[in-house]
Amino acid sequence: MKIINIGKLLLFVWLLLLVASGCSAQMTNNENESANETEPNGNAASDNEKKEITWLQWWRGEQGEQGTEFFEEIESGFEEKYPEIDLIIEDMPFNEVHSKILTTHAGEIAPDVIALSSPWVAEFAASGILHPLDEYYEQQSEEFQESNNGPYWTPWQDQHYVMGLMTGNTALFYNKRMLEEAGIEPPATWEEYLEASIALTDPSKNQYAFTGNIAAEPPSTVNTEVWPFMLQAGVELIKDGRAGFNTEEGVSALEFYGDLIKEHSLATPGELSGTEQDKRSNFSAETTAFMFDGPWGIGIQQSANPDLDFGVTAMPEGATKGTVAGGGALGISSTSTNKEEAWLFIEYMMQPDIQEKWAEVTNQLPHNKIALEADFIQGDPLLKVFADQSIEIEPVNPDLQMPESTVMRKAMINEIQNYLKGDKTAQEALDDAAQAWDEIFEKYE
């Protein structure tokens, strides 16, 4: 029979109680720490539980010190409103962003929020890179929807993929001195534009109405030089998912443009190779009296020639009013695992006060209609023209419905050049351009 040592037994029990007491205290401490890490509303605020979203864009590096400060304000303002989200802003040069989006999507590591140039929107929507935004947009207030349904709220195959951050449209720049010396008012119609152009052209003085710039590289010249005339003629550039410009109205627009160059010789020589850079250089050098450009052209001209006295007026009216929109937008990557949080950031960037400040820093127009009423826009006689056109004309952005925008624009420019060279009639050129567009559209059905 074994005899139990009472002293040892008591010592063992005491040690067990001591260990249990220590564990209980540790559990209590852990619970208190967890409670301290929880916000009053019950949402955990620890860094480990925050969600992180990345925004890929190219604008911050283009705006200098002012841009850096503003982007810091965006980051801090958003994170203050949504403390459960970390915003990571990734900046890179514009010419690298397109390929970055393609490669990161292929690796399923694309940024949550993507900055987009107009020609990329339909391309990325068609290829599955972008996530539709309709479900989020439809949950917003009527005021939100109404103020943000500008040119970028354009569908690709019945769904919307981007929200406009900034915009602009094409208006008519004019040299005040040249018009005043000729006793000419800024033209408001096609007829007035033609008459003024004839009066202002004098090749012996190397003076022309406008720059002939319909170069195929880069294929952006058609946006400002031809598409506005087509819209003013009443053309619907894309209709029911097909080219809609090879109509009687489209022919009249192209012939009007062609007559300015071929019949009346009102453009600088070399129109087939003239670029947007040539157009802006000629205008700042006062070789030309007119220029079609967007609000970004204001700063370009002021920098190129500080002494240049120029004005901006609405695009001349044909059968109707019309102009082309541009700008930049935000979308959500289809591979993002934080789509809800990504939408919260886009929603934040759509607010009028944010877009107003954005417009001031970037020298662009806000896409939000309420922000267009800002004093710095309405009080500027140059910017106000673009803002008024945004509301009154409702500019069109054809790129948003063109899945291979660069290829399609180039196809149209090539056919316009064929017409200007006399190789085809306006109807033949537009028919062939329309066929090229329709072949591309058919690939995405």
For residue 257, give the CATH number of its domain.
3.40.190.10
pLDDT at residue 23 is higher than 90: no
Is 33 a domain residue?
Answer: no
Whether residue 378 is contained in a domain is answered as yes
Name which residue leads in pLDDT, 20 or 365.
365
* Higher pLDDT pick, 134 / 361: 134
Is the residue at 36 inside a domain? no
Mind listing the pLDDT tens digit for each residue in 71-87? 999 999 999 999 999 99
Cα(212)–Cα(219) distance, integer angstroms: 14
pLDDT tens-digit readout, 96-113: 999 999 999 999 999 999
Based on the fold, state whether residues 157 and 272 are members of the same structural domain.
no
Helix axes 405-420, 426-443, angle to 10 degrees: 170
* Same domain for 123 and 137: yes
Mean pLDDT of 85-96: 96
Are both 115 and 189 inside the same structural domain?
Answer: no
User: What's this model's pTM, rounded to 2 decimal places?
Assistant: 0.87
Q: Is residue 417 part of a domain?
A: yes
Lowest mean pLDDT among 43-52, 106-115, 397-406, 420-429: 43-52
- Domain identity same for 176 and 236: yes
Q: State which residues form the domain around 258.
A: 171-323+404-443
Length of the chain: 445
Look at the chain and report how many structural domains it folds into: 2
Mean of pLDDT values over 120-130: 97
The verdict on residue 17 lying in a domain is no
* Judgement on whether residues 248 and 278 belong to the same structural domain of the protein: yes
Which are the contacts of 346, defined by CB distance < 8 A and separation ≥ 6? 113, 133, 136, 163, 330, 332
Is pLDDT at 138 greater than 80 in this prediction?
A: yes
Buried b (16+ CB within 10 A) or exposed e, 227-237: bbbbbbbbbbb
Q: Is residue 292 domain-shared with residue 409, that is, in the same domain?
A: yes
Is residue 25 in a domain?
no
Residue 29 has pLDDT above 80, yes or no: no
Q: Tell whether the model's pLDDT for residue 1 goes beyond 60.
A: no
Quick check: is 114 in a domain?
yes
Indicate whether 359 and 418 sit together in one domain: no
Q: Are residues 189 and 297 in the same domain?
A: yes
User: Is 42 part of any domain?
Assistant: no
Residues 254 and 383 in one domain: no
Given a cut of 80, is residue 399 above it in pLDDT? yes
Judged against a pLDDT cut of 80, whether residue 416 lies above it is answered with yes
pLDDT the model gives residue 47 = 54
Task: For residues 177 and 259, state if they share a domain.
Answer: yes
pLDDT band at 27 (very low <50, low <70, confident <90, very high): very low
In this structure, are 393 and 292 located in the same domain? no
One-character DSSP codes across 220-246: THHHHHTHHHHHHTT--SEETTEE--S
Domain co-membership, 158 together with 180: no
Pairwise CA distance, residues 3 & 347, whole Å: 79
Distance from chain centroid for Cα 124:
14
Q: What is the pLDDT of residues 217-273, one digit of tens each?
A: 889 999 999 999 999 999 999 999 999 999 999 999 999 999 999 999 999 999 999
